[in-house]
Amino acid sequence: MQEHTNTLPAGMRRFNELDLAKPFKTRFFVASAGATAIVLLVAFTVWNAFDTLIPALLLVAILPFAISQLHSRSAMLNVPLAVDMNHPFMDEDPIGKSSVMIRLSDGEWIDIGEGRVRLAEDDLLGGTNLVRDNDDYTLIGHFSELPTSHRGIKKQIVVVNQAIALRDAVNGSEDTIEDARSRETKETGLLDRSWMEEQTEIEIEPDGLMSKLRGE
Protein backbone atom coordinates (compact mmCIF):
# COMPACT_ATOMS: atom_id res chain seq x y z
CA MET A 1 0.00 0.00 0.00
CA GLN A 2 1.35 3.42 -0.98
CA GLU A 3 2.20 5.91 1.73
CA HIS A 4 0.03 9.03 1.66
CA THR A 5 1.31 12.50 2.52
CA ASN A 6 -0.31 15.91 2.35
CA THR A 7 2.99 17.61 1.55
CA LEU A 8 5.53 16.80 -1.12
CA PRO A 9 8.90 15.43 0.01
CA ALA A 10 11.95 17.64 -0.44
CA GLY A 11 13.27 17.54 -3.98
CA MET A 12 9.90 16.93 -5.64
CA ARG A 13 8.52 19.60 -7.96
CA ARG A 14 4.97 19.99 -9.21
CA PHE A 15 4.33 19.79 -12.92
CA ASN A 16 3.12 23.39 -13.08
CA GLU A 17 6.49 24.54 -11.69
CA LEU A 18 8.44 22.93 -14.54
CA ASP A 19 9.62 24.58 -17.73
CA LEU A 20 7.38 22.14 -19.61
CA ALA A 21 4.35 23.97 -18.22
CA LYS A 22 5.43 27.41 -19.43
CA PRO A 23 3.53 27.26 -22.76
CA PHE A 24 0.30 26.54 -20.91
CA LYS A 25 0.93 29.39 -18.48
CA THR A 26 1.65 31.73 -21.38
CA ARG A 27 -1.61 30.83 -23.09
CA PHE A 28 -3.48 31.37 -19.85
CA PHE A 29 -1.93 34.80 -19.29
CA VAL A 30 -2.71 35.83 -22.88
CA ALA A 31 -6.30 34.63 -22.52
CA SER A 32 -6.63 36.41 -19.18
CA ALA A 33 -5.22 39.64 -20.60
CA GLY A 34 -7.64 39.45 -23.52
CA ALA A 35 -10.59 38.83 -21.23
CA THR A 36 -9.52 41.71 -18.98
CA ALA A 37 -9.28 44.10 -21.94
CA ILE A 38 -12.74 43.10 -23.17
CA VAL A 39 -14.35 43.49 -19.73
CA LEU A 40 -12.74 46.90 -19.21
CA LEU A 41 -13.91 48.03 -22.64
CA VAL A 42 -17.46 46.87 -21.94
CA ALA A 43 -17.39 48.51 -18.50
CA PHE A 44 -16.24 51.79 -20.02
CA THR A 45 -18.98 51.59 -22.65
CA VAL A 46 -21.63 50.89 -20.00
CA TRP A 47 -20.36 53.78 -17.91
CA ASN A 48 -20.65 56.17 -20.84
CA ALA A 49 -24.05 54.82 -21.90
CA PHE A 50 -25.74 54.96 -18.49
CA ASP A 51 -23.66 57.70 -16.87
CA THR A 52 -23.27 55.59 -13.73
CA LEU A 53 -20.38 53.65 -12.27
CA ILE A 54 -22.35 50.89 -10.56
CA PRO A 55 -22.82 48.49 -13.56
CA ALA A 56 -19.25 49.14 -14.68
CA LEU A 57 -17.88 48.43 -11.21
CA LEU A 58 -19.89 45.21 -11.02
CA LEU A 59 -18.35 44.03 -14.28
CA VAL A 60 -14.85 44.83 -13.03
CA ALA A 61 -15.56 43.19 -9.66
CA ILE A 62 -16.42 39.81 -11.19
CA LEU A 63 -13.27 39.77 -13.33
CA PRO A 64 -10.89 38.28 -10.69
CA PHE A 65 -13.42 35.54 -9.89
CA ALA A 66 -13.84 34.71 -13.59
CA ILE A 67 -10.07 34.49 -14.11
CA SER A 68 -9.72 32.32 -11.00
CA GLN A 69 -12.37 29.95 -12.31
CA LEU A 70 -10.66 29.85 -15.70
CA HIS A 71 -7.39 28.87 -14.02
CA SER A 72 -8.94 26.19 -11.82
CA ARG A 73 -10.71 24.59 -14.80
CA SER A 74 -7.60 24.48 -17.00
CA ALA A 75 -6.41 20.87 -16.91
CA MET A 76 -2.83 21.53 -17.98
CA LEU A 77 -2.33 24.19 -15.31
CA ASN A 78 -3.46 21.75 -12.64
CA VAL A 79 -1.87 18.41 -13.52
CA PRO A 80 -1.67 16.58 -10.13
CA LEU A 81 1.85 15.34 -10.83
CA ALA A 82 5.26 15.85 -9.24
CA VAL A 83 8.70 14.57 -10.25
CA ASP A 84 12.12 14.60 -8.66
CA MET A 85 15.37 16.12 -9.93
CA ASN A 86 16.40 12.91 -11.73
CA HIS A 87 13.33 12.87 -13.96
CA PRO A 88 13.70 13.84 -17.66
CA PHE A 89 10.95 16.45 -17.22
CA MET A 90 13.63 18.43 -15.36
CA ASP A 91 16.46 20.22 -17.11
CA GLU A 92 19.13 18.38 -15.13
CA ASP A 93 20.77 15.14 -16.25
CA PRO A 94 19.72 12.23 -14.02
CA ILE A 95 22.29 11.11 -11.46
CA GLY A 96 20.22 8.41 -9.77
CA LYS A 97 16.84 6.75 -9.54
CA SER A 98 13.80 8.81 -10.46
CA SER A 99 10.38 8.93 -8.81
CA VAL A 100 6.93 10.21 -9.75
CA MET A 101 4.11 11.20 -7.39
CA ILE A 102 0.47 12.06 -8.02
CA ARG A 103 -2.11 13.91 -5.95
CA LEU A 104 -5.44 12.22 -5.33
CA SER A 105 -8.78 14.02 -5.04
CA ASP A 106 -8.42 14.33 -1.25
CA GLY A 107 -5.20 16.33 -1.68
CA GLU A 108 -2.92 13.49 -0.54
CA TRP A 109 0.25 12.75 -2.53
CA ILE A 110 1.39 9.18 -3.22
CA ASP A 111 4.20 7.56 -5.17
CA ILE A 112 2.66 6.35 -8.42
CA GLY A 113 4.35 2.95 -8.14
CA GLU A 114 5.18 0.57 -10.95
CA GLY A 115 3.19 0.33 -14.15
CA ARG A 116 1.04 2.58 -16.26
CA VAL A 117 -2.30 3.94 -15.07
CA ARG A 118 -5.75 4.59 -16.46
CA LEU A 119 -9.10 6.04 -15.42
CA ALA A 120 -12.10 4.08 -14.14
CA GLU A 121 -15.54 5.19 -12.99
CA ASP A 122 -16.21 5.18 -9.25
CA ASP A 123 -19.74 3.78 -8.94
CA LEU A 124 -19.83 4.36 -5.18
CA LEU A 125 -18.49 7.88 -4.69
CA GLY A 126 -18.94 9.18 -8.21
CA GLY A 127 -16.22 10.76 -10.28
CA THR A 128 -13.11 8.93 -11.38
CA ASN A 129 -10.69 6.45 -9.84
CA LEU A 130 -7.07 5.99 -10.83
CA VAL A 131 -6.27 2.32 -11.44
CA ARG A 132 -3.28 0.32 -12.59
CA ASP A 133 -3.42 -0.57 -16.28
CA ASN A 134 -3.18 -4.32 -15.65
CA ASP A 135 -5.51 -7.31 -15.85
CA ASP A 136 -6.98 -6.59 -12.39
CA TYR A 137 -7.25 -2.79 -12.74
CA THR A 138 -5.72 -2.47 -9.27
CA LEU A 139 -7.16 0.55 -7.47
CA ILE A 140 -4.70 3.34 -6.67
CA GLY A 141 -7.14 5.93 -5.34
CA HIS A 142 -9.92 8.40 -6.12
CA PHE A 143 -8.51 10.78 -8.71
CA SER A 144 -11.15 13.37 -9.54
CA GLU A 145 -14.75 14.42 -9.06
CA LEU A 146 -15.00 14.72 -12.84
CA PRO A 147 -16.28 11.82 -14.98
CA THR A 148 -13.93 9.60 -16.97
CA SER A 149 -15.24 11.18 -20.17
CA HIS A 150 -13.89 14.63 -19.24
CA ARG A 151 -11.19 15.52 -21.77
CA GLY A 152 -9.24 17.54 -19.20
CA ILE A 153 -8.42 14.60 -16.93
CA LYS A 154 -7.75 12.44 -20.00
CA LYS A 155 -5.01 14.91 -20.92
CA GLN A 156 -3.67 14.76 -17.38
CA ILE A 157 -3.41 10.96 -17.51
CA VAL A 158 -1.50 11.16 -20.79
CA VAL A 159 1.07 13.38 -19.05
CA VAL A 160 1.17 11.06 -16.02
CA ASN A 161 1.86 8.03 -18.23
CA GLN A 162 4.54 9.95 -20.11
CA ALA A 163 6.16 10.73 -16.77
CA ILE A 164 6.00 7.06 -15.75
CA ALA A 165 7.52 5.86 -19.04
CA LEU A 166 10.39 8.33 -18.81
CA ARG A 167 10.99 7.50 -15.15
CA ASP A 168 11.17 3.80 -16.06
CA ALA A 169 13.68 4.57 -18.80
CA VAL A 170 15.90 6.39 -16.29
CA ASN A 171 15.53 3.58 -13.76
CA GLY A 172 16.38 0.89 -16.30
CA SER A 173 13.11 -1.03 -16.17
CA GLU A 174 12.08 -3.62 -18.73
CA ASP A 175 10.19 -0.92 -20.61
CA THR A 176 12.89 0.06 -23.10
CA ILE A 177 13.53 3.56 -24.34
CA GLU A 178 12.37 2.55 -27.84
CA ASP A 179 9.09 1.18 -26.44
CA ALA A 180 8.55 4.32 -24.41
CA ARG A 181 9.27 6.52 -27.44
CA SER A 182 6.75 4.65 -29.59
CA ARG A 183 4.01 4.48 -26.97
CA GLU A 184 4.26 8.02 -25.65
CA THR A 185 4.37 9.51 -29.16
CA LYS A 186 1.19 7.57 -29.93
CA GLU A 187 -0.47 8.80 -26.73
CA THR A 188 0.44 12.41 -27.43
CA GLY A 189 -1.27 12.07 -30.79
CA LEU A 190 -4.52 11.12 -29.07
CA LEU A 191 -4.85 14.50 -27.41
CA ASP A 192 -7.46 16.95 -28.63
CA ARG A 193 -6.00 20.00 -30.34
CA SER A 194 -7.37 22.76 -28.15
CA TRP A 195 -6.57 25.13 -25.33
CA MET A 196 -9.00 25.51 -22.43
CA GLU A 197 -10.16 21.92 -22.82
CA GLU A 198 -11.14 22.17 -26.49
CA GLN A 199 -8.52 21.72 -29.22
CA THR A 200 -4.87 22.19 -28.13
CA GLU A 201 -2.16 19.55 -28.29
CA ILE A 202 -0.06 19.07 -25.18
CA GLU A 203 3.33 20.43 -26.12
CA ILE A 204 5.48 17.88 -24.38
CA GLU A 205 7.94 16.37 -26.79
CA PRO A 206 8.58 12.72 -25.89
CA ASP A 207 11.03 12.34 -28.79
CA GLY A 208 13.23 15.11 -27.45
CA LEU A 209 13.11 13.75 -23.92
CA MET A 210 13.89 10.23 -25.03
CA SER A 211 16.77 11.50 -27.18
CA LYS A 212 18.16 13.21 -24.10
CA LEU A 213 18.16 9.89 -22.27
CA ARG A 214 19.93 8.18 -25.13
CA GLY A 215 22.57 10.91 -25.23
CA GLU A 216 21.68 12.02 -28.75
pLDDT tens figures, 5-21: 788 988 899 999 999 88
**β partners of residue 109:** 5, 103
- What does the pLDDT read at residue 117? 96
> Which range is least confidently modeled, 172-176, 193-197, 204-208?
193-197
> Which range is least confidently modeled, 43-47, 122-126, 141-145, 170-174?
170-174
Mean pLDDT of 92-117: 92
Buried/exposed code over 186-209 (b: 16+ C-beta within 10 A; e: otherwise): ebbeebeeebebeebebebebeeb
Order of strands across the sheet with 139-144? Answer: 117-121, 128-132, 139-144
3-state secondary structure of 33: helix
Residue 85 has pLDDT above 80, yes or no: yes
* Gap between the Cα atoms of 54 and 184, Å rounded: 53
* Gap between the Cα atoms of 189 and 206, Å rounded: 11
- Residue 165 exposure: Cα atoms within 13 Å on the Cβ side: 24
pTM above 0.75, yes or no: no
